[in-house]
Amino acid sequence: MIALGQFLEVLIGGLMSGVLYSLVALGFVLIFKASGVFNFAQGAMVLLAGLALVRALDLLVAHGVPFWAAIVLGIGFGAAIMAATAWLIERFVIGPLVNQDGLTLFMSTIGVTFVLEGAAEMIFGSDVYPLRLFPTDAWFVFEDLFPGGILVNKLDVWGALIAGILVAGLAIFFQRTKTGRALRAVADDHLAAHSVGIPISWIWFVVWLVAGLVALVAATVWGTKLGVQFSITFLALKALPVLIIGGLTSIPGAIVGGLVVGAGEKIAEVYLGPSIGGGIEYWFPYVLALAVLLVRPQGLFGERIIERI
Amino acid sequence: MKQIPRTEKEGFKEEDIRMTNVARKLLILAAAVLSGAAFTTPAAAQNEQFIPILSYRTGPYAVNGAPFANGMADYYNLVNERDGGINGVKLLVEECETAYATDKGVECYERLKSKGPTGAAFFNPLSTGITFALTEKTAADKIPIVTMGYGRADSKNGAVFPYNFPLLGTYWSAADIAIQHVAKELGGFDKLKGRKISLLYHDSPYGKEPIPMLQVLAQKYGFEFTPIPVTHPGVEQKSQWLAIRQNRPDYVLVWGWGVMNSTAIKEAASVAYPRDKMLGVWWSGAEPDVTPAGDQAAGYKALMLQHGAGRFPVHADIEKYVYAKGKGLSEPGKIGEVLYNRGMVNAMLGVEAIRKAQEKFGKKPLTGEQIRWGLENLILTDARIKELGFEGMMKPVSISCADHEGARYGRVQQWDGKGWKVISDWYTADESLIEPLVADVSAKYAAEKKIKPRDCAKET
Amino acid sequence: MLYRETGQFKSNYAEDMAIFPIRQDGIALGVLLAVAFIGVPLLATLHVWPFGTDYLLWAILLPFLILALAAIGTNILVGYCGQISLGSGAFMAIGAYSAYKLATGVHIPLAWLGIAITIPPLPVLASILLGGLAAAGFGIAFGIPSLRIKGLYLAVATLAAQFFFDWVFLRVPWFTNYAPSGSVNAPELNFFGVIVQTPIQRYLLCLTFVTVIAIMAKNLVRGNLGRQWMAIRDMDIAAELIGIRPLYAKLTAFAVSSFIVGVAGALWAFVYLGSWEPLAFSIDRSLDLLFMVIIGGLGSIMGSFVGAAFVLIVPVMLNLIPAELGVPLSTQTITHLQFIIFGSLICYLLIKEPRGFARLISIGKEKLRLWPFPY
C-alpha cells in the first residue's frame, strides 16, 4: 500500500510538472505552427516577461498601490513589453528572413535569444526577484488510504488549471475568431494566404504576441516556483522533448507531450535513478522523444510530412 | 525542404549590387575588430599592483556571483581611497566576466595574467571548475590562485600545491563541521549511529568534492550517507525531494549554488520536509538563497565561512570612502550581505598577503611569485583583524607551507525569515580525519603530475 | 589584377579537377600556411607585437584552431549531408574522454567471465586518434535514427546524445578514473619524445592536426563520398532514385563528422583546457559549433574557419574594446551589451547573407576575376 501510494505520488507530481513544461512548450508550438520558425527564444521570452512583470509589481507595491491593482497593472505592463518585443522581432528579424529555410530561422532565434537575455537583464536587473502570485505549499490527499497521504503541490494545480484555460482559450481563438482563422491559413500556406489578402506581417506579429502572452503566463507560474531569474531560460531545454513527443504543430500535443515527459522522467528518476546513479531525468525525456520519433517521425500529434520530388 | 547552398564554384548571377554593400560593411566590421586586436597595454603607471577579478555577473549564477565581486572590488577601492594603496602602491583592478564557465575562465586568465607592471598578483576564480582548470597553469606561470572556502580540498597541502591557497576552509573542513553540528543537535557523536544523512549536491566538481570526506565520516560514526545529485543549474528538483520524502533522512546537507539553493528550500517546503533539518554549506547560505523562498525558508540553516551577514567597522569605512564618493558597486542596502562580506574578506586576505610580501621584497609592485611567499607566510592576529575593522567577522589566520588553509573554523547560522542569526558556537574541523585524506589525494596528484613535493621543513 | 587566370590552361582532367583550379588560390593558401607554420611561431618566440604575451596564442589562436576543426566536422554533417545536429558537443566529449581513458590505461574487469580487459596506457597521438574513432562509432549509432527522422525533429533527437553523454561522463566514475571531484587532468603530451608544453608547441601541434584533417576533408567532399552526401542533402528521395544508398551516405557522414569532432574534443581537453569536466562540452558548445557552421557557410571548409573565428573572436573583441577605449562601463553592462550586439550581429548576418561568409568570399573572388568590369 505504501508502495502504491508512493507511486501515485510520483505519478501525480510528474504529470503536474509536465503540465508546467507544457506552458513553455505551447509558445513554441504557436510560432512553429504559424510561421515554421522553431523559436529557441521562448525561454528568453519567459524571462523577459517575468522580469517586466515582477519589476513593475515591486515598483508599484513600493509606491503604495494596492496589491490587486498592482497585479493588473504589472500584467498589463508585461503584456505591453511582450507586444513591443513581438513587433520588433517581426519587423527586424522574421520579416526580412521570410522564405529562408528552417535552420536559418532557428539560428536567427538563437540570435534573438542573446539579444533578449542581454536586454532583459540590462533593463530590469539580473538579481533574483521573488514573485508570489500563487500558493506554493502542498495538500496531502487520501491520508486515510495511504500513510502520509499523497502530496499534491498547490502551485502545480494552479499551473494545470491555467494551462487548461490557456489551451481552451487558444482553441477558441484559432477556431472562432477571424484572426485565428487567418492564422491557420498562414500556417497552411503563407503564399496562398498572402494572395487572398491576409496581411502576413500582421499575422506574424499576432503570433509572436500570442506566444509572448503565453510566455507571460508561464512566467507567472514559473516565477512563483523559482523566483524570476536568469535560470528560467533553461526551461526552453526542458520544453524541447515535450514538443517533439507531442508534435511541433499540435497544441493538444504540447499538453499530452508534457504529461508524458513529466510522468516519464519523474518515475524514471525515482525508480530507476538510484540504481544507475541518479540525475537521469536530465536525458530521459530526450531518449523518450527519440523513441517516439522512431515510431512516429512527426511526433504523436504532428501533421504527417508528405514528401514529393 | 528548401535547397541548402551549393559549393563555392557555382553561379553568382542572381546576386545584385547589394552584396557590395554587405561586403563593405563586413570589411569595416572586420577592420574594427582587428583594430581592437591591437592589444595595446595601456600605459600603466609603474607603481601599481595589478589585481584581476574573475567574476560572473551574468548567467545562471550571477545572483550569487555579483555580490561577491562587488565586495571584492569595493574593498580594493577602499584600500586605494583610504590608504592610497598598499604602502603607496596603488591597486589596479580589472574584472573579467566568466559566466561560471570554465573555458571563459581560462580565457580571462590568459588575458589578465600578465597585465600591469608585474603581472597579476593572484587569481580568485570563485568557481571550483575554473580552479581545477587553472591549477596547473598558475603553477607554471607562478601566480597564486586563492580559493577561499572552495576549490580543491587537497590543495591545502602546500608542499604539492605551492600556488593554491584554499584559505579559511575547504569542502572537507565544511563537511566535517556540518557533521559536528548535526551530532551536537542530536546530542553527541554516538547518536549519529544509524541515522540517515543525505547530501543534495550540485552535480559538478564543486558538489562532488565533499563526498569522500562524508564517506569517511559515515564510516566512522556509522550513519547512513546518501548522495543525491542535482543537475546544473538545478531548477527542477521534484523527483529528488519526492525521494527524500519517501526516504525521510534525518538531515539533508545542501551543497548547492545559485538557483539550486532556493529551489531546494521551496521543494523541501512543498514536501513538508522540516527546514531546520536542512544544513547548507557556506555557499548555500546567503540572502539570494533564501529570499526567493519567502517564509518557507524560515528555519533553514547554513554553515558560515567564519563570517556571517551584518555590518562591522570596516563597513563604515567602505561607506565613507567608497560609497560617499559614488564609487561603490553594490546597492547601498546590500553591503553587509553574506556574499558581499565574503568578497571583502577575500580581498582583505589578498591585500594583507601583498603587504606581507612587501615586507620582504620592498614597497613596490610585486610578482605573483613574491606574493605567493606573502600568502604562505601570512599571519593575521586578533589585534590585526581588529585594526582592519574585521573584528567579529573572523578568527586568526596563520598560513604555512604545510597548511595553505590557515584556519578551519566555522559556525552555523539560521534564517529566521528576515535575517541570518548565528545559532552555534565556533567549531573546528577535525584535522585527524582530514589530514590523511589530504595526504592521500594530493600524493596521487603529485604522482600523476610528476611533482616532487617540497620539503616544508626547509621553507622559511 | 593579381587574381587573373589568364594563361592557366588545363590540358587534362586531373588539372581541371585539381583542388585549386586557379593557381593564385594555391599560392594564397601556401602563403597562409607559411605564415601560420613559420611566421606566427617566429613572432611569438621573438615576442614581437602582437605576440608580446601568450594571450593571442593561448586564448585566441589555440581555441580558434581546435574549434575550427570541430566546425569542419560539424559542417560535414550539417553543411554537406544536411543532417542537422545539436549533439556535436557530446561527440567532442566522447573524443576527449575516450582519449583520456586510452592515454591513462583501460582496465575493464569482467567479473562474470573471470577475466579482465586491460589495455596499457597508449601514446597520446594514438589515444587522440582512437578517441576520434570512438566518437565515430557512437556517431554511427546516433546517426541511425536519421534514416527515419528529418529536419528539426532530427536536431532535437540529436540532443538526446548531447544530454545522455553529459550525464554518462558526469555519473560514471570509470570514465574519470574515479577522481573524487569528477574533474580529470590531461596526461603528459608526449609526441614521439617531444613533450608539448609551451603555447607555441601547443599551437603548432593543433595547427598540424587542423591542416592535415582540413585537407583530407576538402578532398573527401570533392570526391565520390562528398557528392553522395550533397545529393542526399539536396533531395534525399531523388538521390535514392539515382542509386545512392541513404544508409551508407548518411552513416558515413555521421562517422566522418564525429571522428573529426571527436579529435577536436580530445585536443580541446588535452591541449587547451588541460583539466576539464563534462560542462566543457555542454549544449552551449554544440550551439556554438552550429553557429560557426551557419555563419561561416554551410558546405564550405573555408567557411568553417571563418565561422569559428567570428563566433570565438567577436565576443572577446566586444569585451576588449570598451576596456581599450576606456569607456567607464561596469563588467555587467559590458557583458549584457556584448550579448545584445552579438545576437544582433548574428541576426544581421543571417538576414543579409543567409549562406554565410563562404558565400561572401566566393562573391568577392568572382568580382576579382572580372575586375574592373562589374558583373
Helix/strand/coil for A27: helix
The H or E element spanning position B95 is: strand B90-97
Nearest to B16 by CA among C374, C356, C346, A97: C374
Q: Do A226 and B259 touch (CB under 8 A)?
A: yes
Q: What is the dihedral of CA B332, B338, B344, B348, to 10 degrees?
A: 150
Contact call for A309 and C337, based on CB within 8 A: no
Q: Which of C167, C185, C336 sits opposite B448 (nearest CB)?
A: C185
Distance CA A206, CA A192 (A): 19
Give C1→chain B minimum CA distance, Å: 18
- CA-CA distance, B111 to B52, in Å (whole number)? 10
- Residue type for position C146: S
H or E segment to which residue B261 belongs: helix B259-270
A74 pLDDT exceeds 70? yes
**C121 reaches B (C-beta below 8 A):** no
* Helix, strand, or coil (residue A124): helix
Lowest mean pLDDT among A281-285, C15-19, C301-305: C15-19
Whether the per-residue pLDDT at A1 is higher than 80: the answer is no
Q: Which of C150, C323, C355 sits opposite B5 (nearest CB)?
A: C355
Q: Do C153 and A248 touch (CB under 8 A)?
A: yes
User: Which residues lie below 8 Å from residue B57, measured CB to CB, with a gap of 6+?
Assistant: A126, B65, B66, B69, B97, C330, C331, C332, C335
Which tens digit of pLDDT belongs to each residue from B10-39? 444 444 444 445 555 555 555 554 444 444
Kindly state whether B272 is in contact with chain A, defined as any CB-CB distance less than 8 angstroms: yes
- End-to-end alpha carbon distance in chain A: 59
Chain B CB contacts of C276 below 8 Å: 102, 132-133
* pLDDT tens column, A140-170: 877 777 777 778 888 888 888 999 999 899 8
**Whole-number Å distance between alpha carbons of B409 and B212:** 20
Q: What residues of C are in contact with residue A237 (Cβ under 8 Å)?
A: 159, 283
CB contact under 8 A, B128 and C151: no
Counting one residue from chain A and one from chain B, the pairs whose CB atoms sit within 8 A come to 121
Report residue A87 CA to chain centroid gap.
20
| A contacts of C237 (beta carbons < 8 Å) | 307, 309
A125 vs A148: CA distance, rounded Å: 42
Mutate to test the interface with A, among C74, C84, C146, C152 (most CBs of A within 10 A): C152
**Chain B residues closer than 8 Å to A20 by CB:** none
- Please provide the average confidence, as pLDDT, over all residues in chain C: 88
What is the rounded (10 degree) CA torsion for B310, B380, B132, B309? 0
Interface touch C163/A286, C-beta < 8 Å: yes
- CA-CA-CA-CA dihedral for B150, B154, B157, B161, to nearest 10: -80
From B323's Cα to the closest Cα of chain A, the distance in A is 20
* Burial per residue of A174-188, b for 16 or more beta-carbon CB atoms within 10 angstroms, e otherwise: beeeeebebbebbbe
Shortest distance between the Cα of C24 and any Cα of chain B, in A, equals 15
Contact assignment for B262 to A226 by CB distance below 8 Å: yes
Q: What's the rounded mean pLDDT across residues A107-119?
A: 92
Name which residue leads in pLDDT, C114 or A201.
A201
Facing B242 at nearest CB: one of A9, A126, A229 = A9
Q: How many other CB atoms are found less than 10 A from the CB of residue B295? A: 12
The beta-strand segments (E) located in B117-274 are: 145-146, 164-165, 196-202, 224-230, 251-255
- Which residue in chain C has the smallest CA separation from A305? C150
Q: Are C152 and C146 in contact (CB under 8 A)?
A: no
CA proximity to C148, closest of B313, A97, A291, B432:
A291
DSSP B8-58: TTS--TT--THHHHHHHHHHHHHHHHHHHTT-PPP---TTEEEEEEEE--S
- Of B445, B359, B352, B449, the residue nearest B83 (C-alpha): B352
Residues of B in contact with A265 (CB under 8 A): 239
Chain C, nearest residue to B16 by Cα: C375
List chain C residues with CB under 8 Å of B23.
360, 363-364
Q: What is the C-alpha separation between B108 and B56, in angstroms, rounded?
A: 11
Cβ atoms within 10 Å, residue A147:
9
Alpha-carbon distance C171 to A276, whole Å? 8
**What pLDDT is attached to residue B16?**
42
Task: Please tell me if residue B177 touches chain A, with a CB cutoff of 8 Å.
Answer: no
B269 to A127: CB separation less than 8 angstroms, yes or no: no
C234 contacts in chain B (CB < 8 Å): 3-4
Show Cβ contacts of residue C60 under 8 Å, excluding neighbours closer than 6 positions. Answer: C312, C313, C316
Q: How far lies A177's CA from each of A195, A255, C55, in Å? A: 20, 22, 60
- Please check the confidence at residue C209 and state whether its pLDDT lies above 90: yes
| φ, ψ (nearest 5 deg) of residue C16 | -70, -35
Q: How far apart are CA C127 and CA C131, in angstroms?
A: 6
| Cβ-based burial of C369 (10 A; exposed 0-12, middle 13-18, buried ≥19) | middle
Considering only CB atoms, C331 lies closest to which of B3, B97, B132, namely B97
Q: Of the ranges B320-324, B391-395, C17-21, C92-96, which is most confident?
A: C92-96
Q: In the prediction, which pLDDT does A103 show?
A: 82
Report the pLDDT averaged over residues C162-179. 88
> Given A138, A278, A281, which is nearest B271 (Cβ)?
A138
- What is the reported pTM? 0.90
- Give CA–CA dist A10/A266, Å, rounded: 6
pLDDT confidence of residue B45? 57
What is the full DSSP assignment across C98-117? HHHHHHH-EEEEETTTTEEE
Put simply, whether C353 touches B (Cβ < 8 Å) is yes
Which chains share 3+ C-beta pairs under 8 angstroms with B? Answer: A, C
Chain B hits for A9, CB-CB cut-off 8 Å, are: 242, 245
Q: In whole angstroms, what separates CA A95 from the centre of its chain?
A: 23
- Using pLDDT thresholds of 50, 70 and 90, give the confidence band for residue C371: confident
Cβ of B40 and C82 within 8 Å?
A: no
- Tens digit of pLDDT for each residue in A15-45? 988 988 898 899 888 888 888 888 889 999 9
> Distance between CA C122 and CA B447 in Å, rounded?
18
Share of chain C above pLDDT 90, in %: 41
Q: Which of C143, C156, C75 is nearest to A38 (CA)?
A: C156
What are the tens digits of pLDDT across the range A169-192? 988 988 899 988 888 888 888 888
Do B59 and B49 form a contact (C-beta atoms < 8 A)? no
Q: How does pLDDT run along chain B (460 residues), one tens digit per residue?
A: 444 444 444 444 444 444 445 555 555 555 554 444 444 444 445 788 999 999 988 888 888 999 999 999 999 999 999 999 899 899 999 888 888 888 888 888 988 888 888 889 999 988 888 898 898 889 888 999 999 988 888 888 989 999 999 999 899 999 999 999 999 999 989 999 999 999 999 988 888 889 999 999 999 999 999 999 898 888 888 888 888 888 889 999 999 998 899 899 988 988 889 999 999 999 999 998 898 888 889 999 999 988 888 899 999 999 999 999 888 888 888 888 999 999 999 999 999 999 999 999 989 999 999 999 999 999 999 999 999 999 888 899 999 888 898 888 999 999 998 889 999 999 999 888 889 989 988 898 888 888 888 888 877 6
Residue B419 CB neighbours (<10 A): 13
Q: Are strands C275-276 and C190-191 parallel, antiparallel or unpaired?
A: unpaired
pLDDT of amino acid B253: 94
Please report the pLDDT score of residue C270 as a whole number.
92
Q: Which three cell numbers stand for residue A13?
A: 507530481
Contacts of B161 by beta carbon, 8 Å cutoff, 6+ apart: B135, B139, B152, B154, B155, B404, B442, B445
How many percent of chain A have pLDDT more than 70? 99
Contacts of C174 in chain A (CB under 8 A): none
Chain C residues in contact with B1 (beta carbon < 8 A): 150-151, 235
Inter-chain contact C343–A237, Cβ cutoff 8 Å?
A: no
Nearest Cα neighbor of B279 from B178, B170, B209, B174 is B178
The partner residue sitting opposite B228, judged by closest CB among A13, A235, A278, is A278
Q: Is B72 exposed, middle or buried (0-12, 13-18, 19+ CB in 10 A)?
A: buried
Put simply, whether A83 touches C (Cβ < 8 Å) is: no
Task: Please answer whether residues B257 and B283 qualify as being in contact, where contact means their C-beta atoms are separated by less than 8 angstroms.
Answer: yes
Q: Which residues of B touch C317 (CB under 8 A)?
A: 33, 36-37
